[in-house]
Every structure is written in structure tokens, then in C-alpha cells.
Amino acid sequence: MQATTTYKKAFIVLTLLFLLSFLLNVSLGSVSVPFDAVISALVGGDVAKETWRFIILEYRLPKAITAILAGGGLAVSGLLMQTLFRNPLAGPFVLGLSSGASLGVAMVILGAGAFGGFFGGTLVSQWSLVVASALGSFLVLLAVLAVTLRVKDTMAILIIGLMFGSVTAAVVAVLSYFSNAEQLQQYVFWSFGSLGNQSWPGVSILTACSIIGISISFSCVKSLNALLLGENYAKSMGLQIKRTTLGIILATSILAGSITAFAGPIAFVGLAVPHITRQYFKTANHLVLLPAVLLCGAVLLLLCDTVAQLPSSEYTLPINAITSLIGAPVVIWLLVRKRKLFF
């Protein structure tokens, strides 16, 4: 009873922090917009300048929603991978999904240098990169699922995922060797990750993918708790390991693959947020952890994006750099202080 009350208080604090982070994110940017105008634009009221309404509704709001979906989705998929492999260093991209997405984008951006003009020029657009990234992740997912059906050991799946990442990284390196400076710069900028320049159709697709992935994750709560006690114990409880593994991998792939397709490979969030959440809630129960990491991931990425925007400045820092600079010291401090990972 006392634990339930503690969790309720923690969720109330997280929810308030989430709302504050959201309002802060949509209020600050390169253009100064009064706070009352921000609120009026969000609730559909009158705004003194139409440009303010356009900035809030067509740029900052889609970017904030993308940050919420990306932060929460990566945090959930990171928790799933850490539980499945019982490895505190596992993240949402250990299966090679990010590498597959990077290869798809590299084929579009860098392919012109290696294969001539067929892949270059007009093909390089926002939607072409989204499609290429999603296709690359999907192909890696199919390969991982095929391996999962044949291999019983989950650690073997982890190693094979890392090998897929190495192979795709090698192909990207070859493509980079034959590319010019402009193509390399464009690919590097994509690899930094970006939450901006999202259209409402893109946000809608990302939202649908996130809902599907998170729903599958919540359906695996009992299985995830059983896996914490080891595969042998989970089998003795009647858990079907192969079916559970497929469900977890599918949920992670949908979340990580769709987020990478629309926002690029965002580092650190999926690795760090589960640790931060465990230390804050002091539990390993996934019925508590899943909604908690969802909120924590959204809050962290909203705050990182606010810092990356450099309010009142025309410059925007790479979101990957901010997530690592802010989050890594926090995780190091928490782990040194608590020295417990629930593994």
C-alpha cells in the first residue's frame, strides 16, 4: 500500500514535469513568442500575429510531439532490450536496426558517388530518406526474426544483431569512400538526428507506429517480469520464450525503426532512461517501469531539444550531442551512488 502511494506521487511529479517541459519546448526558440500567445495558439484562440500562430502550430508543436514520441519510444524499446538480454548496456539499436536505417539513407545520399547518378539528385528529399531508412530497418528486422526462429539462445540473437550492424557499417564506409564532400556532409547531418522539419502527415504516421509498438510492449508485461528471474524459471512458469522474444523484438523494431526513419538515430536515450527510471522508482516491476520510462524519455528529449534550439538564437545544435552531454553525467552519478541495476 505504501509502495503504491509512493508510485502515485512519483507519477504525479513526472506528469507535472512533462507538462512543464512541453510548454517550455513550444515557448522557446529562435523567434521570441509571448507565452500568452503560445497558449492561445495551442487552444485555438486569437493570436496577435499570424506568424506566431504558424510558428507554434506548424513548426514547434510537431517538433514537440516528435520529441515526446521519440523519447518515450526509445526509452521503452531500451527497457525491453535490457530485460530480454539481461544486459544493462543493451539499447534499442543492438539488433542492428539503426545500422540498417543508416544503410538505407546512405544508399540514397551516398549512392550517387558509388553507382552514378541513379541514386542522386532528385531522390534526396525528406520523404525519400524516411522511406529508405524504414526499408533498411525493415530488412534488418526480417533477418533478425528469421534468425530468432532458428536460434534458441537470446545471447546469440544479440551477437548476430551486432554482426548485422558491423556489416552495414562496412557497406556505409565503402559508399562514403566513393562520395564527395557535399554528400558526406549531408549524411553526417542526418546521423546527428533531428526533431525539426516534421510535417503533420509524418507525425501522424510516427504516432500510429508508436501506439502499435507501445501496445505490444504493454501486452508483454508479465513475460518481461518473468524474464528477470531467468529463462529457466520463466519456462517453469509456462512462459513460451520464443513467442515472447518475437513479441519483444517486434515491438522494439517498430518503435526504434519508425523513430529512426523520421528523426534519425538518436543516441543515449534508450540506454540511459531505463536506468534513471529504475533508480527513481526503485522497482523492477515492468507494470510500473513501462509507463514510467515512457514519461521519463519524453521529458528528457523535450528538455534536450529545448537546449539544442539555443533559445533566441538562429543556431540549432545536434540533438545527439545534447542527449549525451546532459544524460551521461547523470547516469554515471546515479550508478556510482546506487550501484544497483536490477540485473
**Domain boundaries defined on the chain:** 2-338
Query: Is pLDDT at 126 greater than 80 in this prediction?
Result: no
DSSP conformation letters of 146-199:
HHHHH---HHHHHHHHHHHHHHHHHHHHHHHHTS-HHHHHHHHHHHT----S--
CA-CA distance, 217 to 250, in Å (whole number)? 9
CA-CA distance, 106 to 111, in Å (whole number)? 7
Question: Residues of the chain with pLDDT > 70: what percent?
Answer: 92
Q: What residue type is 195 in one-letter code?
A: L
CA-CA distance, 108 to 110, in Å (whole number)? 6
Output the pLDDT for position 80: 94
Annotation: CATH topology of 2-338: ABC transporter involved in vitamin B12 uptake, BtuC (1.10.3470)
pLDDT tens per residue, range 162-182:
888 888 888 888 888 888 888
Output the pLDDT for position 122: 43
pLDDT tens per residue, range 138-158:
888 888 888 877 877 777 888
Q: Distance from first CA to last CA of the chain, Å, rounded?
A: 25
Looking at 9-23, 54-68, 258-272, which range is the least confident one? 258-272
Output the pLDDT for position 304: 93
Cell numbers linked to 210: 508508436
Looking at 48-52, 152-156, 222-226, 251-255, which range is the least confident one? 152-156
234 three-class SS: helix
Query: Is pLDDT at 275 greater than 60 in this prediction?
Result: yes
Mean pLDDT of the chain: 85
Average pLDDT over residues 44-53: 88
The phi and psi torsions of 268 (rounded to 5 degrees) equal 80, -40
- Helix H or strand E segment including 140: helix 126-150
Looking at 2-6, 46-50, 79-83, 92-96, which range is the least confident one? 2-6
Output the pLDDT for position 117: 47
